[in-house]
A and B are shown apart, each in its own frame.
Chain A
Amino acid sequence: METLDISLARMALLYGLCLLPWSLLWLIGAQLSRDIGLSILRMTLQLGLVGIYIKTLFTLNHPWLNAAWILIMLIVADFSILRRAGLRVRYFLLSCFTAVAVSILLSTAYLVVLIIQPAHFYDARYIVPLAGMILGNCMQGNVIALERFFSAVRKNQNEYTTYLMLGASRWEALLPYFRQAVKAAINPSIANMATMGLVSLPGMMTGQILGGSDPWIAVKYQIAIMICIFTSTTLATIINLKLSLPIAFNDFDMLNEQLFADCNR
């Protein structure tokens, strides 16, 4: 069973559907016309490019090329995590890269090598989309964890120093904020697993069913990817936060404000 292609003419017709929300938003004066136009244009261009290089990756299917692609994804993801978390990239890039790379590589390798077992472990058809999906979700978790953790410490400086003055080690004094940040980061993936299939059909499963896969195979892949997303998000957030501590705090356990993007210096 093959997926039905959509011709260019019908794609143009598809874009026409956007006119409905666009005109409604224009009528209520939402002033979003420019943003909507730009977003649709960006989506089209970005996915067009993804189509080109994924097709190239699949055709060449070379282990080093696949590895290079994953490396680029990791670096782009790290920049995005740090910027969105309000942290200065030059201080945290190495710690963030290490945390995300270790967790993504571990969970992707586990899934591909031990569970799916394709003829070649580096097969682009498996490794590229799976690593990409895991990374995308893991990225969200890391943004939440870093942002929540550092804003909680900054907001509760008085409380944090009180813990230190009461004899807590740096780790003991930071643990309440650390715990909250990790929980906030992994809660979405726990909630996603709990409601999976009830609220909506998950994207990967839908894609596989549309692609002609047996629904049972699609279900198994969906479960596999959810477990890997949960594992890698938990691992990456914990490692990322842990590695950021010696960078963010000085030898006297005080937070260095200069590491934050909103600090003037």
Chain B
Amino acid sequence: MSDIIRFDEVSVTVQDKTLLTQVSFTLRAGEKAVLCGKSGSGKSTILKTLLGMYSLAAGKIYFDSQPLTSKSVQSVRRCTAYIGQEPILGADTVRNALLLPFQFKSHRHLQPSDHQLKQVLQRLQLPTELLSRDCAGISGGEKQRLTLARGLLLDKTVYLLDEVTSALDQESKQAVFEVFADPQLTVLAVAHDTEWLERSQPVFEMHAGRLTQTR
């Protein structure tokens, strides 16, 4: 298995505040890793740094063996689905929210059919009638699954998840776990959920910006 994500002694400092200190880890294709630790310990910062949201004070990040640069960050974002704690649907209706990424030049050629939209909703235990619903009335858990659905429609292979099952009931959570059981998908998830921890390997723990591998 080839390395998909590699952090090599990465440090991040924002306005004199150190967020990450010499973080090193490797994630291979198909691995499902979990990041745990207290709030503010730097878990979300790791995901965001990989996506170029923070500048590196030291160290290097490699994605698919390519160093992360201003040029390569576009391809990292293209291959990666980031699902944050407060997902933004960015459209008026659920259908338009699912189709949002296909407005952009990089994904225009992948425009999904109505059948594909319904299929992906079913896969995530979401009713197909949701498509015509207004986004304003969508719950937090539904929003998280819809953003996940966007990732699946885009055929993303790497998923960066920030507390993605926190607002889900057991049944919906199982549906999400089943999606990620796919050996083609690589997952780096921030989670406190014991089920995530049991299902994931490797497990990393963050403490005050430092990372240690616990399993």
A residues touching B (Cβ–Cβ < 8 Å)?
Answer: 158-159, 161-169, 172, 250-254, 265
**B53 is contacted by which of A161, A168, A169, A265 (Cβ under 8 Å)?**
A161
Q: Is the CB of B154 within 8 A of A252?
A: no
**B88 is contacted by which of A159, A168, A172 (Cβ under 8 Å)?**
A159
Q: In the docked arrangement, what's the CA distance between A65 and B77, Å? A: 54
Q: Is the CB of A165 within 8 A of B73?
A: no
Q: Is B105 an interface residue (CB 8 A)?
A: yes
Q: Is the CB of B100 within 8 A of A158?
A: no
Q: Is the CB of B52 within 8 A of A168?
A: no
For this complex, 25 residue pairs linking A to B, each with C-beta atoms less than 8 Å apart, are: A159-B90, A161-B53, A162-B84, A164-B77, A165-B77, A166-B101, A166-B107, A166-B150, A166-B154, A167-B78, A167-B101, A167-B154, A168-B104, A168-B106, A169-B104, A169-B105, A172-B104, A251-B69, A251-B70, A252-B70, A253-B52, A253-B73, A254-B53, A254-B54, A254-B55
Q: Is the CB of B90 within 8 A of A162?
A: yes
Q: Is the CB of A169 within 8 A of B106?
A: yes
| Nearest B residue (CB) for A170 | B74
Chain B residues with CB below 8 A from A158, complex form? 84, 86, 88
| Nearest B residue (CB) for A251 | B70
**B104 is contacted by which of A161, A167, A253, A254 (Cβ under 8 Å)?**
A167
Q: Shortest beta-carbon distance, A156 to chain B, in Å?
A: 9
**B82 is contacted by which of A159, A165, A250 (Cβ under 8 Å)?**
A165
| Nearest B residue (CB) for A265 | B15
**A162 is contacted by which of B70, B78, B80, B88 (Cβ under 8 Å)?**
B88
Q: Shortest beta-carbon distance, B121 to chain A, in Å?
A: 18
| Nearest A residue (CB) for B14 | A257
Interface size class of B (residues with CB under 8 A): 20 to 34
Given contacts A158-B88, A161-B51, A163-B104, 5 further A-B contacts (CB under 8 A): A158-B84, A159-B88, A167-B101, A172-B104, A251-B69
Chain B residues with CB below 8 A from A163, complex form? 90, 104
Q: In the docked arrangement, what's the CA distance between A162 and B129, Å? A: 25
Q: Shortest beta-carbon distance, A257 to chain B, in Å?
A: 8
The A-contacting residues of B in range 91-129, CB under 8 angstroms, are 100-101, 103-107
Q: Is the CB of A250 within 8 A of B104?
A: no
Q: In the docked arrangement, what's the CA distance between A165 and B53, Å? A: 10
Chain A residues with CB below 8 A from B15, complex form? 265
Q: In the docked arrangement, what's the CA distance between A265 and B14, Å? A: 12
Chain B residues with CB below 8 A from A252, complex form? 52-53, 55, 70, 73
Q: Shortest beta-carbon distance, A145 to chain B, in Å?
A: 23
CB-CB under 8 A for A167 and B77, given A250-B55, A251-B70, A252-B52: yes
Chain B residues with CB below 8 A from A172, complex form? 103-105
Q: Shortest beta-carbon distance, A197 to chain B, in Å?
A: 39
Q: In the docked arrangement, what's the CA distance between A102 and B86, Å? A: 43
Which of A165, A251, A253 gathers the greatest number of chain B CB atoms within 10 Å? A165
Which of A162, A172, A251 gathers the greatest number of chain B CB atoms within 10 Å? A162
What 5 A-B pairs have minimum CB-CB distances, sorted nearest first? A251-B70, A252-B52, A166-B101, A167-B106, A162-B88
| Nearest B residue (CB) for A171 | B105
| Nearest A residue (CB) for B48 | A161
Chain A residues with CB below 8 A from B105, complex form? 169, 172
Q: In the docked arrangement, what's the CA distance between A167 and B73, Å? A: 11
| Nearest A residue (CB) for B71 | A251
Chain B residues with CB below 8 A from A168, complex form? 101, 104, 106
| Nearest A residue (CB) for B15 | A265
Chain B residues with CB below 8 A from A265, complex form? 15
Chain A residues with CB below 8 A from B77, complex form? 164-165, 167
Q: In the docked arrangement, what's the CA distance between A166 and B87, Å? A: 12
Contact string, B35-62, partner A, CB cutoff 8 A, digits 1/0? 0000000000000000111110000000
Chain B residues with CB below 8 A from A162, complex form? 84, 87-88, 90
| Nearest A residue (CB) for B88 | A162
